[in-house]
Structure 1
Amino acid sequence: VGDPEKVICVGLNYRDHCLEQDVKVPKEPIIFSKFPSAITGPFDDIVHPEESSEVDWEAELAAVIGKKGRHIEESSALDHIVGFTVANDVSARDWQMRNGRQWLLGKTFDTFCPLGPALVTKDAVADVHNLSIRCRVNGQLMQDSSTSQLVFKLPKLIAWISRFVTLVPGDILLTGTPPGVGVFRKPPVFLKRGDEVQCEIEELGTICNKVV
């Protein structure tokens, strides 16, 4: 598996996350991206950009592509995955929602994609669509859900995305986040310098990143 050519992300892909926003469950996957330059290590710092005052967390299951493909059938889609890891789709909400939604800019600041702690091969995961997923900020539980809540499972996502682009080894697919993000809390809560964010997925491990 080489360096990622693409970091592909999915929006509104947890049923309970749709509920917390009071939006309808999508009828087809909502796809956006982050630049690979946003990737940082499982225990590296998240750099809080001067340009944002609304930096938020998003614990996510990440799938790593191991086999090239285009127009992939759902029935063979999992054959194109080499393994899984934990991601934090860090998001600057003020930029994400700016001028009618600047999703790319709001998602792709440097260090806004912590990944790790390891690439767990798919044969080592009993059921990737039934794993607990959690996020803690300074030890406080913020997100607590299960990948069973995914609206679109991995075969559907890979088949859908590969209709538009060729997937190549090293590409990373972030599958969406469950409820509990800061922007939808009342009042909203955002990350500040000195905070520590832990994202954990059953069988895959935990990443821990300090905001600086």
Structure 2
Amino acid sequence: MPSNDKNRTTNILLIRHGETAWNAERRLQGHLDIALNAEGARQAALLAAALAPERIDYVVSSDLLRARQTAEAIAASRGMTVGIDPALRERCYGGFEGLLYSEIAARFPLEFAAWQARDVDAVLPAGANQGETFRQFYDRATGAILEHAAAHPGKTIALVAHGGVLECAYRKAVGLPLETPRDFKVLNASVNRFVVEEGGLRLLSWGEVEHLKPAVLDDLG
């Protein structure tokens, strides 16, 4: 009897990239392509070593450099190649990108207030890139995760992405409304475990960072 792939559980290791210099100074990255700093490279190496004993069938990364560098550290010791998916990118913040949080508040007070109030349909100011509403970003990020799971039923996939993507997955898995404040940490080089069963995302564990010392930063980017 043929197997029913739709009923096979897919394991997702959702991983945030290592630290960048902009993470350290709370400068918003979004779609701007920032590399790991020395601490981020160290975190990626520790992450790869911690995951070495585990089964991973595929490694897929956002196309942004900070995620790719983290994914390549995981894949290199396994002799694997990294798949690239731009749909796993961080949210695009438009005119907010490249600015410190204090600078965003000063230059775009109305838009900053809407962002902080979690207006999920608020339009961001124009910048080098076209901004996304949080709802648009949520649909893109969660859709990409579920598409990878559907393409590889019964497998274990490491998806290397960004703080905002992790937030979206958490909200999807636990049914947390988009409008509610983020009351959970999103950590650099953390491992966050999910399963996809019958098309639904379920959280197994969150924020595994035992492999990292000192403690990692908690800011989206």
For Structure 1 versus Structure 2, the TM-score category normalised by the shorter chain is under 0.3
Task: Report the TM-score when normalising by structure 1.
Answer: 0.23
Higher helix share: 2
Larger of the two Rg values belongs to structure: 2
Task: Report the TM-score when normalising by structure 2.
Answer: 0.23
